[in-house]
Structure 1
Amino acid sequence: MIILTHYLLVSAGLFSIGIYVVLSKQNAIQVLIGIEMMLNAAILNMVAFGKFDKINNAGQTFALFAIVLAAASTAVALAIVLNVYRRHQTIDPGKINQLKD
């Protein structure tokens, strides 16, 4: 039987990997992937706590809203990355030092 601690350990590992990816990568797309991993860890926590809460399904409801918001924010972030690449010919956040020319 899988207990709540197992879910929380997997979520903590996923969140730690996401933080490592965000802090260590120089590519904007990889940074976005790391942020998505951290969001998925938070969603896993919501679903796990919702599963073990026998009164209501608030965890699953919040997780559904979080998934929708994560998808929308990812679409906006990818559009921004594409526009930055079109203008500066790089997606390395360290090489882009100005927003206006």
Structure 2
Amino acid sequence: MENELVAGPSLGAYLTVAGILFAIGVAGIFLNRKNVIIILMSIELMLLAVNINFVAFSMFLQDLVGQVFAFMVLTVAAAEAAIGLAILVTFFRNRGDIAVTSANTMRN
């Protein structure tokens, strides 16, 4: 009993979950183009789906490179979220609104 291998979910199951999460993220971006916070959350969801793919292929190929890439993507995603939220807070303090349409007026 000590040497028995426990079979986990297959690679296809991981890729299916990642595909669904990525599709939800893309749908969140296209269906809600007015709220910047939801757009940022959708981008983070898409990055999470990419990380699931990296880790799933890393486990399937018995290689740690995919997990290293997943940590790198997590680092970049955390920096992107922090900078994006800092810009949103500053924009809200100046304008009083965080709609994408009001952000487009900054160009003028």
TM above 0.5: yes
Conservation of the 8 A alpha-carbon contact between 1:4 and 1:48: yes
Cα deviation for residue 89 of structure 1 reads: 1.1
Report the equivalent of 1:96: 103
Q: Does 1:38 align with 2:51?
A: no
Partner AA of 2:60 in structure 1: F
- Shift in Å, 1:98: 2.1
1:28 partnered with 2:33:
no
Q: Secondary structure at the match of 1:99?
A: helix
Whether 1:3 and 2:10 are equivalent positions in the alignment is yes
**RMSD, matched Cα:** 1.4
Shift of 1:100: 5.8
Identical-residue share of aligned pairs (%): 35
SS of residue matched to 1:65: helix
The CA distance in 1 between the partners of 2:80 and 2:106, in whole Å, is 20
Displacement over 3 Å in runs of 4+: none
Deviation at 1:84, TM superposition (A): 1.2
Residues in 1 aligned to 2:31 and 2:24: alpha-carbon distance in whole angstroms: 10
8 Å Cα contact 1:22/1:30 also seen in 2: yes
Runs (5+) with no aligned partner, structure 1: none
Task: Point out the structure with max Rg over C-alpha.
Answer: 2
1:50 aligns with 2:55: no
Give the 5 Å matches for 1:12-27: 12-25=19-32, 26-27=34-35
Q: Is the CA contact 1:88–1:96 (under 8 Å) kept in the aligned structure 2? A: no
- Whole-angstrom distance in 2 between the partners of 1:21 and 1:66: 20
Q: TM-score, normalised by structure 2?
A: 0.86
**Paired residue for 1:59?**
66
